[in-house]
Amino acid sequence: MTELDELYQEVILEHSKAPRNYRRPEATNRSAEGYNPLCGDRFTVFLDVEGDAIRDIGFQGSGCAISRASASMMTQSVKGKSKEEAARLFEEFHRLVTGGAKTPEERTILGKLAAFAGVSKFPVRVKCATLAWHTMQSALEGKQDVVSTE
Amino acid sequence: MTRLAHHPISEPLQEASAQEASAPSAGFPDIERIRRDFPILGQRVHGKRLVYLDNGATSQKPWAVIRAITRYYEQDNANIHRGVHTLSVRATEAHDAARRTVQSFLHAADAREMVFVRGATEAINLVAQSYGRAHVAAGDDVLITAMEHHSNIVPWQMLCEEKQARLRVAPINDRGELLMEEFERLIGPRTRIIAVTHVSNALGTVNPLRRIIHLAHQQNVPVLVDGAQAAPHLPVDVQALDCDFYVFSGHKVYGPTGIGALYGKAALLDSMPPYQGGGDMIRSVTFEKTTYNELPFKFEAGTPDIAGAVGLGAALEYVSELGMDYVAAHGQDLLTYATEAVGAIPGVRLIGTASQRAGVLSFVSDHVHPHDLGTILDREGVAIRTGHHCAQPVMDRFGIPATARASFAVYNTREDIDALVEGIAKAHEVFG
């Protein structure tokens, strides 16, 4: 498989074309906006948080295939998780796309998100893959500023 | 307050069109020879022939430039204007010669009208901070257009904020052309300066400069022309244009980064306060009083980028030897070919379809985001720019976050554009 095929895995292409949870949940009580000025990607992540639990999550906005698929798969991965689990997942995801988490064992926690391993061969695309995650983190922390990847 | 004298326009007001430039004579200059002049083009990227189509961001450098800089450091390096020793005299002469080359490139009347700067951005900042701060007051207007690069927006915004002046923006139509009636209407008694690009970096639009300058001068308003994207593609004659300021960056015209030039009419430059203080820009200094140096040194504080100037001189000599008419005709041929080829791809929409364009083809695809396209093309050895091109208001105008942009140079061929088209097709396959 070429590096390009590894980057644009079938599951990533599929999510980029038909993103899941592309909506604003009715019970949204936290949200944040993320922006990558380099390429113009811009997403809003909406959360319905109760206590420590992420009851619902959605996103809207525009961006490249990697950022869109990443946002879509992130919403699936963190829905129903605790804030702490979501933070842990982001940590592992970040390790994956920056060239860490090389063994299958290390990737267990990531599940389907392991499809993003190919991003590590394209350092300029790491920001695309992590934009929605940074934005979610910001929403969880209740920050008001637009998250920028720059 | 210094106001401009009325500038009579003796030339007819038709625009010099790049398309009118004479076609290259058969076999000259030889494109393969030109390509060999640029050592970087010989390499392979991801195993593919390098197809460099990001010339709007920066161009590659010919041997003539690389060797001129090396030779300067190997043989002539010294500081200028202060030593009696041989090397200082040589360095000073090389620097002066480079200035005369820039003068001749822009067809300016006098070398004193050429100020070396870091690039177009610094030149615009110089004019905004020096001319602008001296002439723009509360309630005054600065007029720009909706197709400007950030570097021809932000310096004026900063000035207007400081002076409580208004930044007026002349709109463009859906093809990316300046709406001349609106533009004319926006020039009023409070307009103190107009800053307009010669060629749009995001759309490729060539602005009708003579008409713009004529309208401005009818109301005694000076015009600054941002020539960053024009200097590599079109013959520029500041006297024929009658512009008051013209700025460009060396690195987009095959020169090194970090050097560019500001042209200003001598009377204007003379009347302007210095931009920065320091060495070289003064005639005499006591703690009570400093007398400023003559033009252009008044605006060149500190030891300049001497090697950069030498490199820029070599670059402009290189393109002048090719002939700017040839350069323009070659660029127009590539743009026409690319417009047809890329425009014919299903799902692709061209952004910027002005009747007069140069150097740049901007487009979006229904199937693939510019950023993904850029990555896929890179794996094919094709380098393009993706993003907002430092022209976010232009992106907003067209309701898009980004475009893909292919921009051309003297060493590009139709084969390069074929590679671009194949790469787009491949991206469409991936995302089909």
Q: How confident is the model at residue A101 (pLDDT cuts 50, 70, 90)?
A: confident
Class for domain B65-321, per CATH? alpha beta
Q: How confident is the model at residue B425 (pLDDT cuts 50, 70, 90)?
A: very high
Q: Give the three-class secondary structure for B297.
A: helix
A10, pLDDT greater than 60:
yes
For residues B400-414, give the mean pLDDT.
96
- Among B390, B392, B401, B431, the active-site one is B390
Chain A residues in contact with B395 (beta carbon < 8 A): 40
Which residues face B247 on adjacent strands?
Answer: B226, B262
Of A2, A40, A66, the CB nearest to B401: A40
Residue B419 near residue B382 (C-beta atoms within 8 A) = yes
DSSP state of B5: P
Closest residue on chain B to A127 (Cα): B371
Q: Give the three-class secondary structure for B223.
A: strand
Which pLDDT score, from 0 to 100, does residue B202 have? 96
Which of A16, A39, A67, A150 to mutate against chain B (most B CBs within 10 Å)? A39
Residue B403 near residue B389 (C-beta atoms within 8 A) = yes
Provide the 10 A C-beta neighbour count for residue A23. 15
**Does any CB of chain B come closer than 8 Å to the CB of residue A64?**
yes
Phi-psi region of A35 (alpha: psi -120 to 50; beta: other; left: phi over 0): beta
Chain segment B353-375, per-residue pLDDT in tens: 999 999 999 999 999 999 999 99
Tokens of B144: 């720009």
**Does any CB of chain B come closer than 8 Å to the CB of residue A18?**
no
Give the whole-number percent of chain A exceeding pLDDT 70. Answer: 97
Closest residue on chain A to B387 (Cα): A39
Which pLDDT score, from 0 to 100, does residue A150 have? 61
ipTM value: 0.90
Cβ–Cβ below 8 Å for B370 and A39 = yes
Residue A87 near residue A136 (C-beta atoms within 8 A) = no
Cβ–Cβ below 8 Å for A38 and B372 = no
Closest residue on chain B to A3 (Cα): B379
Which pLDDT score, from 0 to 100, does residue A144 have? 61
**Does any CB of chain A come closer than 8 Å to the CB of residue B402?**
yes
For residues B177-187, give the mean pLDDT.
98
Provide the 10 A C-beta neighbour count for residue B164. 11
Chain B residues in contact with A37 (beta carbon < 8 A): 388
- CATH superfamily for domain B26-55+323-431: Aspartate Aminotransferase, domain 1 (3.90.1150.10)
CA distances from B198 to A61, A115, B65, B131, B418 (A): 34, 46, 25, 20, 28
**Does any CB of chain A come closer than 8 Å to the CB of residue B379?**
yes
DSSP per residue over B188-207, as a string?
-TTEEEEEEESB-TTT-BBP
Find the range with the poorest average confidence among B43-57, B81-95, B239-253, B355-369: B81-95
Chain B residues in contact with A4 (beta carbon < 8 A): 375-376, 379, 430
Report the alpha-carbon distance of residue A131 to residue B159 in Å, rounded. Answer: 34
Minimal CA separation from A20 to chain B, in Å: 18
Chain B residues in contact with A14 (beta carbon < 8 A): none
How many residues in total does chain A contain?
150
The helix or strand, by DSSP H or E, that contains position B122, with its residue range, turns out to be: helix B120-127
Of A2, A62, A122, the CB nearest to B401: A62
Of A38, A62, A65, the CB nearest to B372: A65
Give the whole-number percent of chain B exceeding pLDDT 90. Answer: 86
Report the alpha-carbon distance of residue B250 to residue B106 in Å, rounded. Answer: 13
Of B371, B379, B395, the CB nearest to A4: B379
Of B371, B402, B430, the CB nearest to A8: B430
Cβ–Cβ below 8 Å for B372 and A42 = no
Segments making up each domain of chain B, as ranges: 26-55+323-431, 65-321
B243 catalytic residue (yes or no)? no
Minimal CA separation from A54 to chain B, in Å: 30
Report the alpha-carbon distance of residue B398 to residue B395 in Å, rounded. Answer: 5
DSSP state of B281: S
B243, pLDDT greater than 50:
yes
Chain A residues in contact with B364 (beta carbon < 8 A): none
**Does any CB of chain A come closer than 8 Å to the CB of residue B395?**
yes
Report the alpha-carbon distance of residue B208 to residue B389 in Å, rounded. Answer: 22
- Please enumerate in sequence order all residues whose Cβ is within 8 A of that of B148, keeping only pairs 6 or more positions apart, or say none: B195, B196, B197, B226, B391, B393
For residues A127-138, give the mean pLDDT.
96
The one-letter amino acid at B102: V
The helix or strand, by DSSP H or E, that contains position A91, with its residue range, turns out to be: helix A83-97
CA distances from A8 to A1, A5, B47, B105 (A): 11, 5, 20, 47
Which of A64, A66, A67 to mutate against chain B (most B CBs within 10 Å)? A64
Angle at B103 between CA B361 and CA B83, to 5 degrees: 125
**Does any CB of chain B come closer than 8 Å to the CB of residue A122?**
yes
**Does any CB of chain A come closer than 8 Å to the CB of residue B45?**
no
Minimal CA separation from A5 to chain B, in Å: 9
Of B371, B387, B431, the CB nearest to A13: B431
Chain segment B3-57, per-residue pLDDT in tens: 444 443 334 444 444 444 444 444 468 999 999 999 999 999 999 999 999 999 9
Of B387, B388, B431, the CB nearest to A65: B431
Segments making up each domain of chain A, as ranges: 3-141
The three-state (H, E, C) secondary structure of B343-360, written as one string: HCCCCEEEECCCCCECCE
For residues B44-72, give the mean pLDDT.
98
Chain segment B130-179, per-residue pLDDT in tens: 999 999 999 999 999 999 999 999 999 999 999 999 999 999 999 999 99
Which of B369, B377, B390 to mutate against chain A (most A CBs within 10 Å)? B369
**Does any CB of chain A come closer than 8 Å to the CB of residue B369?**
yes
> Which strands make up the sheet holding B385-387, listed edge to edge?
B348-351, B360-365, B403-407, B385-387
Chain segment B278-332, per-residue pLDDT in tens: 887 888 888 888 888 899 999 999 999 999 999 999 999 999 999 999 999 999 9
Minimal CA separation from A91 to chain B, in Å: 25
Chain B residues in contact with A3 (beta carbon < 8 A): 379
- CATH 3.40.50.720 fits domain A3-141: no
